[in-house]
Structure 1
Amino acid sequence: MAAVNNALVVGSGLAGMATAVHLASRGVAVDLVEIEPDVPALGSGITLPGNALRELRGLGVWEQARRKGYAFDVTGLRAPDPAGTVVAEFPDAKSGGPDLPAVMGMPRPDLARILAGRAAEAGAEVRFGTTVAELTQDAAGVDTTFSDGSTGRYDVVVGADGIRSWTRRVLGIGLETRPVGMGIWRASGPRPAGVTRTDLYYGGPCYIAGYCPTGEDSLYAYIVEGAQDRSGLSPQQQLATMKRLSEAYHGPWDAIRETLTDPSRINYTHFQTHLLDAPWNRGRVVLIGDAAHTCPPTLAQGGAMALEDAAVLAELLIEHDAVDQRLWDAFAARRYDRTKAVVDASNQLAQWQLDHEHGDVPSLVRRIAELVSQPA
């Protein structure tokens, strides 16, 4: 008998939707609430390494995602010179197994819609424009009051509500989210024919300039700079700033730059990081995804870690017969060290760039690839 008959999931990101799919498809009654009014329709792209693709297959959405995305097995390094010279090409680790691509890019809104549709198909009740107003738990369950005045009682509550998690705050967890020291410009747009993989440019006026194809007709491009306060820029000024920074990068960037015309497709954010010490639960309320851990996307593992959290948590809630310390110990044993290794490595890569230090990047990348190639 499963440890839970019903569950509440707070947040509709990758961790939340994946948890809802896994539990609902195994017969658990799942309510998912999301404060936003609908599935996001805007956003740039996401880079999904093989271990994330393995999780999408486990969710039953791999074929849908594949049709929307753009897969590749090699990453290039280019110089910030007038030709955008290719200086290296290296095969990406097939961390999801030999029968899956090494990497796939896809538009974030498409992935969000696919997961939302799968959650509904599995039987989860998804409520947008609603969130949790109050949680009160006892030894047997969690009483919940929602923002619309409705109430519910659940065997477990999963806080998958992001880096600034309300669930984490209401649990009284004082986790420090610290800035890494970098800011990233992102833009989505059409894919020039010459962009068939991710290429990374190191150096020039910024730390990194790169791009990732996200579909037959789409890509997202990004430029990483030292963190600055860009909040006073208008959308048009943001567009002009990203275009100006991109002028140091050539090759395919010359074609990409010509497509940067829509200010609504530009966004700027700072890299941040945190990692919650184990355990990630307080009683019957547990945090997963960005609510528990976040890091700069230097290894492109954030989405994969969120999807893995969901899969492992759902597996344990189904296989165990009680929500007890054994369950939470098992969850911590399978998630904490693995996630910490990814967070630490991602932060180390960023710090080497900030310090202009030539660390042993190949060794670090290889170590993490070997780790995540083993199923969570």
Structure 2
Amino acid sequence: MSDKIPAVPQKASLQIRFVVVGGGIAALASAIGLARAGHEVTVLEKSDGHTNRGEHGLRIPPNMSKILYHWGLRQQLLDVALVSRALLFSRLESEELLGTQVWDYELLKETRGDFLLLTHIDLHRLLSETAVAHGVNIRYNAEVVTIVPDLGEVRLASGDTHSADVIVGADGVKGISRDSLVGQHDRGAPVGISIINATFDTKTAVGQLPEELERAADFESNMIFAAFGNKCGALAFPINQWRECTFQFLVQDHTTEGTWGDPPCQDLKTLVPNPCDPRLRFVADNASNAVRVVLKDYSHLENWVHDSSRLVVIGEAAHTFPAIAVQGPAMAVEDAAVLGKLFSHLSSRDQIPSFLWAFQDIRQRRCTAIQQVEHGNVYYMTMADSPEQRARDEALKAKHRAGKNVMAPEDGEESAQWGEVRETFGYDCEDEADNWWVQWGLLRERAKGAQQSQARDFAFTWGNMGVSVSQNEDANSE
């Protein structure tokens, strides 16, 4: 959708060395952003580069796709992704239709991005290839075991040591970067909910829709299906050009450990309660590739930058999101874009601390606000049967009966749809970084230049020295 011409990246006048710890979406995106600014970047990934790629689906919101479009990746993304413009909401237990949401084309155009559906493996492959094309050195089977921020060093299990002017920790909430920043390991506290992801053949999973859902479903818009249940929920959306669907189940679960890359779990069928939508029931009973990601609470990081100004954490290492959150990957890519934009202005090493703290200032407020929204979405989907839940369902159904989108505003209210687009989808993180540079970065550079000029004007030389004799001294000498 974006008609913005891919930008020719601005190159920093001073180019420095970055080491990125991790090899996921956040790491690769940050490597691209920094390499576009002309810096030397090495990525250290502990896996072989294949086992850290998942076959599960991702929803890419417009605020993320616009960045990748701006980086010149629009056509490559559209070659592997589906553009989605609609959602369908139903009850998990009864298949009852609650309503639909069709994003207005002109409204989405304002965001300069698209809502995309694709697989993690396709996005990871595209970012890897793009990073290499920009000169990034990606080292696989390179497990970082120690980070020494004060020295700007990372040490590998192999015994090798890499030094950098700045270390970017993009290895997730369980990675060594976060531990090195806070000085201890944060295991997180399970909250009793797991997100279980599975892929399934589309014809088998989505076929034979009930008549009411069949009439409401907009398959040409690559509809996302959301089912609200009693303390549970599910999402489903097409991937791989509709050959498969990704299913994400939100279930009550007392398991304490589980994350991406684990072996398939065997208890999805027992975790999804009955009664249940027959299609969701079939997937839960027959999925052979279900992966459990346990939802945990992690401590909030006050600072993302080490005192040495040699280590900064981004993505999940800095801010965690539920695995079902649409904005989780988006926030990581926004982090990467802001970091790259700021360091495209680097002209002296004494700017490094101010750029890192500016990154935290720009990103922390945004991520905290989006975290609250995403956790609210989990609660909204999994609301327990109650008067509040019944009021929610009735409000959605009333709008649907009136021919309205479920996110349409009530009479007299500001457009809820536009409000979300403006605040979330319409946000341009690169513009925010540019604004910081114009408002604060340039001001500091000018102030520093004025101080240096003043220092040169009053520089000490012996030629400026003279002997001053007072009148009293003259009188005394007489």
Sort the TM-score into its range (normalised by shorter chain): 0.7 to 0.9
Identity %: 22
After superposing the two structures, state which structure 1 stretch, 171-180 or 356-365, moved more: 356-365
Higher helix proportion: 2
8 Å contact kept, 2:19–2:167 = yes
Structure 1 residues 130 and 246: CA distance shift in structure 2, 3 A:
farther
- The alignment status of 1:159 with 2:172, answered yes or no, reads no
8 Å contact kept, 2:199–2:290 = yes
Q: What TM-score comes out, normalization by structure 2 length?
A: 0.68
Q: What is the DSSP-based 3-state SS (H/G/I as helix, E as strand, rest coil) of the residue aligned with 2:154?
A: strand
Taking only aligned residues, the RMSD between alpha carbons, in angstroms, comes to: 3.2
Partner of 2:250: 224
Partner of 2:459: none
Partner of 2:373: 345
Structure 1 residues 109 and 245: CA distance shift in structure 2, 3 A:
farther
> How far is the alpha carbon of 1:325 from its aligned partner?
3.4
After superposing the two structures, state which structure 1 stretch, 87-96 or 48-57, moved more: 87-96
Q: In structure 1, how many angstroms separate the alpha carbons of the residues matched to 2:131 and 2:27?
A: 10
Q: In structure 1, how many angstroms separate the alpha carbons of the residues matched to 2:35 and 2:257?
A: 41
> How far is the alpha carbon of 1:253 from its aligned partner?
4.1
Q: In structure 2, how many angstroms separate the alpha carbons of the residues matched to 1:182 and 1:74?
A: 27
Q: In structure 2, how many angstroms separate the alpha carbons of the residues matched to 1:122 and 1:190?
A: 36
Structure 1 residues 14 and 2: CA distance shift in structure 2, 3 A:
farther
- The alignment status of 1:371 with 2:423, answered yes or no, reads yes
After superposing the two structures, state which structure 1 stretch, 42-51 or 156-165, moved more: 42-51
Letter in 2 for 1:237: Q
Q: What is the DSSP-based 3-state SS (H/G/I as helix, E as strand, rest coil) of the residue aligned with 1:225?
A: strand
Q: Output one character per residue of 1:282-302: Cα deviation in whole Å (capped at 9) or x when no partner.
A: 021000000000122565100
Q: In structure 2, how many angstroms separate the alpha carbons of the residues matched to 1:32 and 1:211?
A: 33
Q: How many residues align?
A: 366
- The alignment status of 1:14 with 2:40, answered yes or no, reads no
Partner of 1:100: 113
- The alignment status of 1:237 with 2:266, answered yes or no, reads yes
> How far is the alpha carbon of 1:16 from its aligned partner?
0.4
Q: In structure 2, how many angstroms separate the alpha carbons of the residues matched to 1:279 and 1:151?
A: 26
Partner of 2:88: 76
Structure 1 residues 366 and 13: CA distance shift in structure 2, 3 A:
farther
> How far is the alpha carbon of 1:180 from its aligned partner?
3.8
Q: Output one character per residue of 1:196-224: Cα deviation in whole Å (capped at 9) or x when no partner.
A: 311111125x5212201123112201211
Q: In structure 1, how many angstroms separate the alpha carbons of the residues matched to 2:140 and 2:274?
A: 38
- The alignment status of 1:213 with 2:238, answered yes or no, reads yes
Q: What TM-score comes out, normalization by structure 1 length?
A: 0.85
Structure 1 residues 231 and 51: CA distance shift in structure 2, 3 A:
closer
> How far is the alpha carbon of 1:312 from its aligned partner?
0.2
Structure 1 residues 235 and 7: CA distance shift in structure 2, 3 A:
closer
- The alignment status of 1:30 with 2:41, answered yes or no, reads yes
Structure 1 residues 2 and 340: CA distance shift in structure 2, 3 A:
farther
Partner of 2:362: 334
> How far is the alpha carbon of 1:131 from its aligned partner?
2.3
Q: Which runs of 5+ in 1 are unaligned?
A: none
Q: In structure 1, how many angstroms separate the alpha carbons of the residues matched to 2:418 and 2:189?
A: 27
Q: Equivalent residues in 2 for 1:181-330 (5 A)?
A: 181-192=192-203, 196-204=222-230, 206-216=231-241, 217-229=243-255, 237-238=266-267, 240-241=269-270, 245=273, 248-250=276-278, 253=280, 257=282, 261=286, 263=288, 265-274=289-298, 276-282=300-306, 283-297=309-323, 299-321=325-347, 322=349, 323-330=351-358
Partner of 2:137: 125
Larger radius of gyration, structure 1 or 2?
2
Q: Which runs of 5+ in 2 are unaligned?
A: 1-11, 208-218, 393-405, 410-415, 430-478
Higher strand proportion: 1
Structure 1 residues 92 and 238: CA distance shift in structure 2, 3 A:
farther
